[in-house]
Amino acid sequence: MTIQEAQNQVDHWITTTGVRYFNELTNMVILSEEVGEMARIIARKYGEQSFKKSDEKYDLADEMADVFFVLLCLANQTGVNLTEALEKNLLKKENRDKDRHRNNEKLRG
């Protein structure tokens, strides 16, 4: 599935099953909540925090998909083509950072 196909599929789901999009501010808050849930799993799995019984229900891949879903909603609502945005962003990073990370001594093992 391409990013554009994902945007289209989310839009179709929202307009047929979800009734309508939440407003942009509500979706921004929901995105923050979903990122928090993803962060909780990463902190426990890769960080120094231990899992609690209540954490067992969380699945990292599912939480990442939740984040992506809400991001796609926001893109659709605000008229952002994420394929074009990502391509433009990668070009910006290529030009701005082509030597930056290579020259960063902190990144050399």
CATH code of the domain containing 53:
1.10.287.1080
Q: In this structure, what are the phi and psi dihedrals at residue 86, rounded to the nearest 5 degrees?
A: -70, -45
Whether 33 and 26 have beta carbons less than 8 Å apart is answered as no
- Say if residue 92 is exposed, middle or buried (CB neighbours under 10 Å; 0-12, 13-18, 19+): exposed
Whether 107 and 101 have beta carbons less than 8 Å apart is answered as yes
Write down the pLDDT at residue 102. 83
Write down the pLDDT at residue 42. 95
Per-residue pLDDT of the chain (109 residues; tens, 9 = 90+): 999 999 999 999 999 999 999 999 999 999 999 999 999 999 999 999 888 888 878 899 999 999 999 999 999 999 999 999 999 999 999 999 888 888 888 888 6
- The CB density around residue 36, as the number of other CB atoms within 10 Å, is 11
Write down the pLDDT at residue 101. 82
Would you say residue 14 lies in a domain?
yes
Write down the pLDDT at residue 93. 92
Write down the pLDDT at residue 51. 87
Would you say residue 91 lies in a domain?
no
Domain containing residue 63 = 3-82
How many whole angstroms from its chain centre is CA 48?
Answer: 23
Would you say residue 62 lies in a domain?
yes
